[in-house]
Amino acid sequence: MAASPPPPPPRPLLLLLPLLLVWGVVVAAAAATDTLRQGESLTGAATLVSSPSGVFEVGFFAPDPKLPSRLYLGIWYRSISPRTVVWVANRAAPATAPSPSLTLAANGELRVLDGSAADADAPLLWRSNASTQSAPRGGYKAVIQDTGSLEVRSDDGTLWDSFWHPSDTMLSGMRIAVRTPGRGPSEPMRFTSWTSETDPSPGRYALGLDPANSGQAYIWRDGNVTIWRSGQWTGQNFVGIPWRPLYLYGFKPANDPNLGAYYTYTASNTSLQRFVVMPNGTDICYMVKKSAQEWETVWMQPSNECEYYATCGANAKCTAMQDGKAKCTCLKGFQPKLVDQWNMGNWSQGCVRSPPLGCQVNQSGDGFLSIPNIKWPDFSYWPSTVQDENGCMNACLSNCSCGAYVYMTTIGCLLWGSDLIDMYQFQSGGYSLNLKLPASELRSHHAVWKIATIVSAVVLFVLLVCLFLWWKRGRNIKDVMHKSWRSMHTSTRSQQNSGMLDISQSIPFEDDTEDGKSHELKVYSFDRIKAATCNFSDSNKLGAGGFGPVYMGKLPGGEEVAVKRLCRKSGQGLEEFKNEVILIAKLQHRNLVRLLGCCIQGEEKILVYEYMPNKSLDAFLFNPEKQGLLDWRKRFDIIEGIARGLLYLHRDSRLRVVHRDLKASNILLDKDMNPKISDFGMARMFGGDQNQFNTNRVVGTFGYMSPEYAMEGIFSVKSDIYSFGVLMLEIITGKRALSFHGQQDSLNIAGFAWRQWNEDKGEELIDPLIRASCSLRQVLRCIHIALLCVQDHAQERPDIPAVILMLSSDSSSLPMPRPPTLMLHGRSGETSKSSEKDQSHSIGTVSMTQLHGR
């Protein structure tokens, strides 16, 4: 270029010469660096690599393989393929020149040029738009961090940060505010989707915080149509997102005089989690699979029709059906708003009040009805002068256009206007809303309630009488059957023993048992099983587990067995199933129910177990008539037995088995009341990789599932420990874990036990029936151990050998259990003692007073 200068005009050329020298320093592709200095440029295939871990890389890339010449400057994960881009600079203007470049100007502005930095005519594609008049001493440099942020900074501080100007991805370490701060012009902070998977230009959807400062996050389409809403912040979580890991992993509100209210997000494992607004408007949380460098969806919203904004219109609540479809119902005291006779079933218009409120007619009294488990509606506001719950209620009563209120100590009083929009009725979780209703509606509510109570009492009584009569008859029939079985048995005993009539085949296998005896897995014919269970008659049914019903069966030899008829959709081939059964049959331990054999015929898959005459633990523990039979000694033995069974499953057996559905009804009791774990290995059989995420099929039982398993489908031996902790609490309290849900303060069993224990009221947890007979010291120690097992973070829970050690020793000191981080609807404002004991775990104390109503 310098060799053949175009003749006139000469002046620009002279200017160009020194420039050429400066820009001549191009970042070399080979030497990986994290810094771009003033005067350097990044071009071609060269990249900046974050240090020290090299998680992220900055450079030019072509997202669309069909258009390889369209280049964008982006940030992506260095070691994950296919390339996962988390930020794009020149989204709206792709480069078309063969080698575009990124430069850092002396005033601190980052620029993407469509051509070489040396070419003064190269079009400017993008700039960071944050600059200073005078360059600081030492100059500026752009640095890519291991968190994924690209920063322009000098010795004086940070001038510009890509985290404040996100594309479509939220990374750990970001702060989410209403507007961007910094030296550049302030603008709404939005996460804007790509147009398509291969086109990073700004798409139709954007996620951001409510500009009216209600503290809610929204997803909008085309800038102003609301698609989704997170719900209000309750001091602990967003009312519409009961996904605990989001808060466990550190989604928290914060406040800054310059920024106003904002949220911080810090994942426990920073680089491995990201939230993305997809081109179709869905917000997805991805995590890296443990086993491979590959992304897996762990959370997604909106994921059913009810999560879309205002699906049911005003004053209606939305219930999600199995298939994700919405079912809309008017709130009590409202009627569907019919536009004309044809729009039956069209809910876009919502519901209207009927009858009117008392305050609208004759000033007669109105009252409130509490609607549980709901995502509070949109458009709430904070009244300025309310001190307590009563004040909040009166504030709503005194304003005729107030339709509902909520009071929580953490956030104070929230009021709503006359139209209540976007309410999602959860199956469980969520919070209550106090809906204003005329006195007449509340009265009729009570009347209906009374009638319903009386009717159901009568029905219950009649049912009980029938049941009693039926039971008496059943007993007689059973006696007769028993006798006839006996006589048959004695007459054919010799034949039975020699020929094993009911067994068509047997599979011998190498033994792995603790007693060293050899066992055979028997294969039964379907007809035999059918005969043994009286054609799977209901009177033989013992119960229904998660994987199919269980029947009592009596083989012709007189042997009593339990027969589990697996439901058909196990998704496994015959050979796989057989192999799995053989593996499971090898698991033999005194605290595991023994698998005797199986039966496979066509669609039918049946497992035959030894029969436990004393049924399951829950039949004793939660039955007022039998509870007393289990004194503390017995209960402690049961706890120890279960622990030993688990130890065998987790550690000592050849397959390391995670049970995944440990609960009271899966603990069977033999004739000496020794506990035996049943249903182990079923998760294997129903197709779960043992050490992987499994979001599609979460087996397990509500109330026993650890947070990481219930929410993310991550399971491990530590999820079993959680279930074991819940089971211990049940054995000690004599109450079902599930009975704690939906109570006044709605803590789960773990939260409730923790609170009592923390307030030194552990004694009150103990089942009154055993309080007299037990050693208080030992029971309290057991509660302590249980609380260690039900801690939120899997890595903090002890493993089973540690649990057994703690159970068996009386003196060793135990670590302090951490409080449940998120006691959903818990009254965190009152747990002052918790913050004394553990500062790091008290959240929900952050004041949100900066947020104002909209």
Active-site annotation, residues: 661
Within 360-389, the residues that bind ligand NAG by CB under 6 A are 361-362, 364
- Of 343, 370, 495, 739, which lies in the binding site for ligand NAG, with binding defined by CB under 6 A? 343
Closest Cα to residue 707, out of 795, 639, 834?
795
Shortest separation between residue 351's beta carbon and ligand NAG, angstroms = 14
Under the criterion CB under 6 A, does residue 488 sit at the interface with ligand NAG?
no
Please identify, among the stretches 256-264, 319-327, 343-351, 428-436, the one whose residues bind ligand NAG according to the rule CB under 6 A: 343-351
Sheet holding 124-127, edge to edge: 41-43, 101-104, 110-113, 124-127
Decide if 597 contacts 522 (C-beta within 8 A): yes
Please identify, among the stretches 18-26, 397-405, 468-476, 668-676, the one whose residues bind ligand NAG according to the rule CB under 6 A: 397-405
- Of 27, 122, 217, 272, which lies in the binding site for ligand NAG, with binding defined by CB under 6 A? 272
- Calculate the alpha carbon distances from 265 to 216, 222, 256, 268, 485 in Å: 15, 26, 15, 10, 67
Decide if 198 contacts 246 (C-beta within 8 A): no
Considering beta carbons, is residue 154 or 346 the nearer one to ligand NAG? 346
Considering beta carbons, is residue 22 or 106 the nearer one to ligand NAG? 106
Closest Cα to residue 248, out of 707, 580, 710?
707
CA 431 from chain centre, in angstroms, equals 17
Considering beta carbons, is residue 296 or 618 the nearer one to ligand NAG? 296
Distance CA 678, CA 596 (A): 13
Considering beta carbons, is residue 239 or 272 the nearer one to ligand NAG? 272
Please identify, among the stretches 79-87, 358-366, 578-586, 757-765, the one whose residues bind ligand NAG according to the rule CB under 6 A: 358-366
Decide if 326 contacts 312 (C-beta within 8 A): yes
Count of residues interacting with ligand NAG (CB under 6 A): 23
Distance CA 213, CA 394 (A): 25
Within 164-203, the residues that bind ligand NAG by CB under 6 A are 185
- Of 440, 504, 525, 850, which lies in the binding site for ligand NAG, with binding defined by CB under 6 A? 440
- Calculate the alpha carbon distances from 443 to 363, 439, 446, 703 in Å: 17, 6, 5, 35
Determine the Cα angle at 306 with ends 304 and 310, to 5°: 135
Shortest separation between residue 97's beta carbon and ligand NAG, angstroms = 20
- Of 268, 623, 743, 847, which lies in the binding site for ligand NAG, with binding defined by CB under 6 A? 268
Under the criterion CB under 6 A, does residue 484 sit at the interface with ligand NAG?
no
- What CA dihedral angle connects 476, 477, 482 and 484, to 10 degrees? 120
- Of 69, 81, 348, 832, which lies in the binding site for ligand NAG, with binding defined by CB under 6 A? 348
Residue 670, phi then psi, degrees to nearest 5: -85, -175
CB atoms within 10 A of CB 385: 7
Shortest separation between residue 460's beta carbon and ligand NAG, angstroms = 34
Shortest separation between residue 665's beta carbon and ligand NAG, angstroms = 33
Shortest separation between residue 102's beta carbon and ligand NAG, angstroms = 16
Under the criterion CB under 6 A, does residue 278 sit at the interface with ligand NAG?
yes
- Give SS3 for 808: helix
Under the criterion CB under 6 A, does residue 773 sit at the interface with ligand NAG?
no
Considering beta carbons, is residue 62 or 278 the nearer one to ligand NAG? 278
Distance CA 707, CA 751 (A): 12
Distance CA 752, CA 180 (A): 41
Please identify, among the stretches 116-124, 265-273, 573-581, 593-601, the one whose residues bind ligand NAG according to the rule CB under 6 A: 265-273
Decide if 329 contacts 317 (C-beta within 8 A): yes
- Give SS3 for 423: strand
Considering beta carbons, is residue 401 or 601 the nearer one to ligand NAG? 401
Considering beta carbons, is residue 272 or 737 the nearer one to ligand NAG? 272
Decide if 506 contacts 535 (C-beta within 8 A): no
Shortest separation between residue 316's beta carbon and ligand NAG, angstroms = 13
Within 200-259, the residues that bind ligand NAG by CB under 6 A are 223-225
Shortest separation between residue 349's beta carbon and ligand NAG, angstroms = 6
Decide if 430 contacts 460 (C-beta within 8 A): no
Shortest separation between residue 272's beta carbon and ligand NAG, angstroms = 5
In this structure, which long-range contacts are made by residues 795-799, counting pairs with CB atoms below 8 Å and at least 24 apart in sequence?
795/718, 797/718, 797/721, 797/722, 797/725, 798/721, 799/650, 799/717, 799/718, 799/721
- Of 51, 84, 96, 129, which lies in the binding site for ligand NAG, with binding defined by CB under 6 A? 129
- Of 99, 154, 346, 492, which lies in the binding site for ligand NAG, with binding defined by CB under 6 A? 346
Decide if 805 contacts 784 (C-beta within 8 A): no
Please identify, among the stretches 96-104, 311-319, 398-406, 839-847, the one whose residues bind ligand NAG according to the rule CB under 6 A: 398-406
- Calculate the alpha carbon distances from 441 to 325, 368, 449 in Å: 30, 10, 12
Under the criterion CB under 6 A, does residue 506 sit at the interface with ligand NAG?
no
Contacting residues toward ligand NAG, per CB under 6 A: 129, 185, 223-225, 268-269, 272, 278, 280, 282, 339, 343, 346, 348, 361-362, 364, 399, 401-402, 417, 440
